[in-house]
Amino acid sequence: MEHSKSDYLLGILPEKEEWVQQMETYAKEHRVPIMDSVSMNFVMQLIRLKKPARILEIGTAIGYSALMMAEAAPLAEIVSIERDEERYRQAENHITGQGRQDQIRVILGDALDELDTLRESGELFDWVFIDAAKGQYRKFFELAEPILSDSGVIISDNVLFRGLVANPEKAHQRHRKMVEKISSYNRWICSHSGFDTSIVPIGDGVAISVKKGRG
């Protein structure tokens, strides 16, 4: 029986703590979109290397990725934005359950509004993780850029969207516009003069954009 690369990598990851397994099981059963394990492990490793002091997440869902990032950067301050009230409450419960409420602050609201509020408040972040409405990725990126420190990193998840970005002809009618937007976003970030971007074909596709320092 032939195994995929992802299956192989999943098989050699360290055993997960019970709370992680429970969150992943809940997400699967209730169709909550969370980052796949291999990609999450990759992002956690990047965080360990970068050691960001402040992390901003766009799209909290049930708090899975925020908690995993907290595991990788236990001293970092994490701010996460979620517009769905039910998921916001679930995230709060999960974060409190892991004793991370002093490290992770979840904001209930639309990221398009809340990012402006953070900018007006003079907030600055070393790391931004975008994992929300795919059609809004460019707007999220543009709003996050002014509050990103020099040499800061913006991570965008799902940028290959089930392989359909590379093979748009295979996309169902209901997904075609989204696939077009993601493809356009990928071209835009890869040619952005203020960032160096690399797209890694891991999981559903992860884009790593590093802000160029001044001077």
- Binding residue positions for S-adenosyl-L-methionine: 35, 65, 82, 110-111, 131
Amino acid identity at 43: V
Six-digit token pair at 175?
A: 């997904």
Residues 151, 211: Cα–Cα separation, whole Å:
5
Per the annotation, where are the binding residues for Mg(2+)?
Answer: 131, 157-158
Residues 210, 201: Cα–Cα separation, whole Å:
17
DSSP characters over 31-91:
T-----HHHHHHHHHHHHHH--SEEEEE--TTSHHHHHHHHH-TT-EEEEEE--HHHHHHH
Per the annotation, where are the binding residues?
Answer: 35, 65, 82, 110-111, 131, 157-158
Give whole-number Cα distances, 159 to 37, 41, 51, 89, 146, in Å. Answer: 16, 17, 24, 27, 22
Residues 94, 39: Cα–Cα separation, whole Å:
21
Neighbours of 142 (CB within 10 A): 12
HSE at residue 194, side-chain half, CA atoms within 13 A, is 13
